Amino acid sequence: MVNDWDIAIKRGVEHNVPRVFKVLREHPYLEDLARKVREGKLEVLSNLDYYIEMTMKSVERIGGKAYFVENAEQAREIVGKIVGNGKRVVMGKSMVAYETGIRKYLQSLGNEVWETDLGELLIQFADEPPSHIIAPAVHMTRERIRELIKEKLGVDPGDKHEDIVKVAREFLRQKFLTADIGITGANAVAADAGSIVLVENEGNIRMSSVVPPVHISITGVEKILPNLEYAIYEALVQAAYAGLYPPTYINVTSGPSSTGDVEQKRVSPAHGPKEFHLILVDNGRRKANEDPVLREALLCIRCGRCHFHCPVYRVLDGKWGDPPYSGPMGAMWSGIVYNDYKPALLCSHAGNCREVCPMKINIPKVLEYLKNKYFSMMRAGTKE
């Protein structure tokens, strides 16, 4: 029996797959940029602690505050201290924020918190996990989205994609303008500059990072690149292999807002945030980096291309992995951040994911390795 998830995933595949091939055919330099990004990421992973320290010093040098946290609990504690309670918080899409449970934790402290990426907002409305790393609500048909918006906002947006987007835009606009805190992730972090780079199309990340007086960026340590050049490359490559190229926006944030218009003396703040906080999260990443097989997973740039080429992901209608990590890359990341090796057991080793990955990650090899770890633990009696 065909269900809404099956229909929605099928539509997503039909829209995305040919579009990515078209982008790569029309812009052949992107494959060269992808190779450079892989080189830059391997350089950082080979000297990870050094680059973490460099990044934190760079952020402090430009007027921001930097934190390194070992686990999700520490991440929640720091964000909670910065935000406090009784605040309005807007969030740009962040897998690490989801991984560490930031939204629900801030809500438990008495804050009003809104996801501002349309897909994430729909997930928040439905109280469901995301089904794709780039398009979290790809499992929802527009017919279901229409009913969900009618239920939550009391407005019938109609059946057109454009009208659905319009209703969400009108709902969120006042949230942006009155928010106390903006929280984003980071597509890449430049160690030499202390800058974060964010790529988007909706404009919600730009508003979340500029309009509120406080901007918090939370991301994994694997997002660090040696310098701003490589960080920009990662944003371009991520957008291209996600099929949304050229991206509508690339945002570079370097500390709090500033101006040099009075005698060329740079001072902060100006019109944008007066505070910038960068939280670098470990949560299993450094341990994985010590393993020559798992280290490959840390090269992932979260483009989500592997999902749509994977027969298992398509057969399971996106229900594969521990949220927010789904699909083939999610099966790897479930093992890294949640110590859950079961998602790897579902891999059929078709190999499509390896062929389309911009970072040339041998995903089937990593998942085979996680399968072996699972069965070794089973034999040892340490896992159910």
Extents of the domains making up the chain: 36-283, 287-380
Pick from 12, 25, 33, 24: nearest CA to 241: 24
Pick from 113, 86, 118: nearest CA to 97: 113
d(CA 27, CA 31): 8
Binning pLDDT at 50, 70 and 90, where does residue 351 land?
Answer: very high
Assess whether pLDDT exceeds 90 at residue 134. Answer: no
Q: What is the pLDDT of residues 64-78, one digit of tens each?
A: 999 999 999 999 999
Give the lowest-confidence range in 110-114, 254-258, 288-292, 378-382: 378-382
What pLDDT sits at residue 316? 87
Pick from 69, 94, 59: nearest CA to 192: 59
The superfamily CATH assigns to domain 36-283 is NagB/RpiA/CoA transferase-like (3.40.50.10420)
Q: What is the mean pLDDT of residues 52-63?
A: 98
**Do 36-283 and 287-380 share a fold?**
no
What pLDDT sits at residue 2? 53
Binning pLDDT at 50, 70 and 90, where does residue 1 land?
Answer: very low
Q: What is the pLDDT of residues 156-167, one digit of tens each?
A: 999 999 999 999
Element at 99 (helix H, strand E): helix 95-99
Contact 251, 40 (CB under 8 A): no
d(CA 247, CA 237): 10
Binning pLDDT at 50, 70 and 90, where does residue 12 land?
Answer: confident
Q: What is the mean pLDDT of residues 259-269?
A: 93
Assess whether pLDDT exceeds 50 at residue 292. Answer: yes
What does pTM read for this prediction?
A: 0.94
Q: What is the pLDDT of residues 218-238, one digit of tens each?
A: 999 999 999 999 999 999 999
d(CA 126, CA 139): 12
| CATH level 3 topology of 287-380 | Fumarate Reductase Iron-sulfur Protein; Chain B, domain 2 (1.10.1060)
Cα distances (angstroms) measured from residue 300 to each of 64, 125, 303, 330 = 27, 29, 8, 10
Phi, psi dihedrals of residue 112, rounded to the nearest 5°: -95, 115
- Return the number of other C-beta atoms located less than 10 Å from residue 25's C-beta: 9
What pLDDT sits at residue 382? 58
Binning pLDDT at 50, 70 and 90, where does residue 9 land?
Answer: confident
| Amino acid at the residue 22 | K
- Tell the residue number behind the tokens 């089904």, with chain if given: 131
